[in-house]
Amino acid sequence: MTVITVSQLNRYVRSLLESDAHLTQVLISGEISNFVNHYRSGHLYMSLKDENAIVKAVMFRSQAMQLRFVPENGMKVIARARVSLYEKDGAYQVYIDDLQPDGAGALQIAYEQLKNRLAAEGLFEESRKRRLPRYPRCIGVITSSTGAAVRDIFNVLGRRYPLAKIVLIPVLVQGDGAPPQLVNALQTFETMRQSDAPDTPDVIIIGRGGGSLEELWAFNDERVARAVAASVIPVISAVGHETDFTICDFAADLRAPTPSAAAELAVPDMRELAGRIRFLQTAAYRSLISAVSRRQTALTAITQKRCLQSPLYPVEERQMRLDHTVKRFSAAAHLAVTRADRRLASAAGKLHVLSPLQVISRGYALVQKEDGIVRSVQDIAPEDTVSVRMADGTLTCRVTEKEVLS
């Protein structure tokens, strides 16, 4: 019996496994566990297990890049793989060439994974969505130039609102080349906005007609979703039919069920605007007529006032008031003068009775000295000179003698 090394043993067992036609390509159903995404190398490491057993598995970078979804622990999958042995630790494992979800399709899982991840980032929040312009001057359209979608959009825009200019950037809407073109188109419109180009759109419609999940997959691309969310110009997403939902729909400012509906949401209807204008014209005319009528009534009431019909009426009325006031003043003044005359006459009569002259006229005389009236003989000394006032004249006398009456 020949003695062999461990390396030789492992190499021999590996050759046996790889030479077995039944093990070069097998389909294995199992649940993923111990999943490791080796970001530096790009390889995926995991285990596949069922109720009773477990096997190690690896998927190299070249195959992993083809996956539409990210494997996760607990996910049930079907792996197309080959069986071999890792010589270094002597453990056999499977090398996966392709991996598909067991049940839901890979694209559907990838869709849900990306949707949940972007939603967790807040990319779909209503608070960050922009309001569409009410009367857009220019509409940007990003879609295929040959599909039915572009014809529907142009027809609806032309019928509803021919005033708006349409700028089309034709792109691929499916296949691997579609996402970069969709992103570049959005960036082109953003560059136009930043440079204030004359044909910068006020709103963008991005989309395509209906199709399978695979055909619509370009609008589930993360790059497209982030470009739509980053657009400063409001974006309407119109991908597929009414029942189709893409990641682009959630990232856009508004989702339309079809391209035709997107065109209807982007612009107002000229016929409705014309009807609204006619209604406003009628309302304005009626309001004007009503206002004029009210002012005419007010003007008529003003012109019928006596002061306007007879301009001198205020002057005449005030003249009458003045005349009446003058009469009352004159009467009051005459009465006051009369009363004053009466009081004066009464006082004059009293004064006349008490007047020294009246007394003198009855034979009395008024004796005066230089310092005033002499009221007593005690005020006069012999040889004094006095003035004697009589009714018809004055005497100047020298006092030679005085007699005091007891």
Residue ranges of domains in the chain? 6-103, 112-268, 358-398
Tokens of 81: 């793989």
Torsional sign, CA 62, 67, 72, 73: negative
Beta bridge partners of 238: 207
Per-residue pLDDT of the chain (406 residues), as tens digits, is 788 888 888 888 888 888 888 888 888 888 888 888 887 788 999 989 888 888 899 999 888 888 877 888 878 888 888 999 988 888 899 999 888 877 656 677 778 888 888 999 999 999 999 999 999 999 999 999 988 899 999 999 999 999 999 999 999 999 889 999 999 999 999 999 999 888 899 999 999 988 887 888 899 999 999 999 999 999 999 998 777 788 999 999 999 999 999 999 999 988 888 888 888 898 999 999 999 889 988 888 877 777 666 766 777 778 888 888 888 888 888 888 889 888 888 888 787 777 777 777 777 788 888 888 888 888 888 888 888 888 788 888 888 888 878 6
| Cα end-to-end distance, the chain, whole Å | 203
Residue type, 92: Y
Give the CATH H-level superfamily of domain 6-103: Nucleic acid-binding proteins (2.40.50.140)
Tokens of 18: 């790889």
pLDDT of residue 406: 65
With residues binned 3-state (H G I as helix, E B as strand, rest as coil), the percentages for the chain, rounded to 5, are 45, 20, 35
pLDDT of residue 104: 57
pLDDT of residue 405: 80
Strand ordering across the sheet containing 366-369: 372-373, 366-369, 385-390, 393-398
Beta bridge partners of 253: none
pTM tops 0.85, yes or no: no
CA 54 from centroid of its chain's CA atoms: 61
Q: Max alpha carbon distance in the chain (Å)?
A: 208
State phi, psi for 141 to the nearest 5 degrees.
Answer: -125, 125
CATH code linked to domain 112-268: 3.40.50.2300
Contacts of 55 (CB under 8 A, 6+ apart): 28, 30, 47, 48, 49, 92, 93, 94
317 vs 211: CA distance, rounded Å: 95
